[in-house]
Amino acid sequence: MALSLNNLKPAPGSTHKKKRVGRGPGSGLGKTAGRGHKGQKSRSGYSSRAGFEGGQMPLQRRLPKRGFTNKFKKQWIEISLAKIDANFNAGDEITPEILHERGLIKKAKHDLVILGNGDVTKSLKVSAHRFTKTAKEKIEKAGGSISEIAKAVAADA
């Protein structure tokens, strides 16, 4: 039999009948419809607040506050030389934008640092905000060049 729109059906066992609740004692889920007896949770329109523990002091309030988060923390996107070497050809120019286009790093909103993990087998022109010492040595040893991108500093008014 040829496959066409009029004879499509799901694989056996992949679909189930919808559970019909509150349809009398014969259904097995009549009367309270699986909600137990009385109480706030049995009513229609009930919705619980996240972290609500029935009036008991919630866990997020029982635990002490510790430390703080520095919102000015410097964040880096890290990529290894092994990844760069595997995804680029000799003589290619590598910038954060190109790495993002190829899907090797997420959006280039943080500064990029090149790590010295792995080996470089071809000469590459790499531009990044920072390089580790071993990454610099390996790129230059393979005949490549590096250029550090200077991040523009906003002038204080």
- pLDDT tens digits along 70-116: 999 888 999 999 999 999 888 889 999 999 998 999 886 788 999 99
On whether the CB atoms of residues 110 and 77 are closer than 8 A, the answer is: yes
Mean pLDDT is lowest, of 9-23, 24-38, 95-109, for 95-109
Residue 61, domain member (yes or no): no
On whether the CB atoms of residues 80 and 105 are closer than 8 A, the answer is: no
Go through the chain and tell me how many residues it has: 157
For the four alpha carbons of 133, 138, 141 and 143, in that order, the dihedral sign comes to negative
Predicted local distance difference test score (pLDDT) of residue 106: 87
On whether the CB atoms of residues 93 and 125 are closer than 8 A, the answer is: yes
Residue 96, domain member (yes or no): yes
Residue 143, domain member (yes or no): yes
> In this structure, what DSSP letter does residue 93 have?
E
Residue 130, domain member (yes or no): yes
Scanning the chain, the segments in alpha helix (DSSP H) are: 59-62, 81-87, 96-101, 133-141
CATH number of the domain enclosing 109: 3.100.10.10
Residue 138, domain member (yes or no): yes
Confidence bin at 153 (pLDDT 50/70/90): low
Residue 98, domain member (yes or no): yes
Predicted local distance difference test score (pLDDT) of residue 44: 92
Predicted local distance difference test score (pLDDT) of residue 3: 87
Q: Could you tell me whether strands 125-128 and 93-94 are parallel, antiparallel, or unpaired per DSSP bridges? A: parallel
Predicted local distance difference test score (pLDDT) of residue 152: 60
Predicted local distance difference test score (pLDDT) of residue 48: 87
Q: Which domain holds residue 119?
A: 76-148
Number of domains in the chain: 1
CB neighbour list of residue 1: distance below 8 Å, 6 or more residues apart: 7
Predicted local distance difference test score (pLDDT) of residue 156: 54
Residue 118, domain member (yes or no): yes
pLDDT > 90 fraction of the chain, expressed in percent and rounded: 61
On whether the CB atoms of residues 140 and 146 are closer than 8 A, the answer is: yes
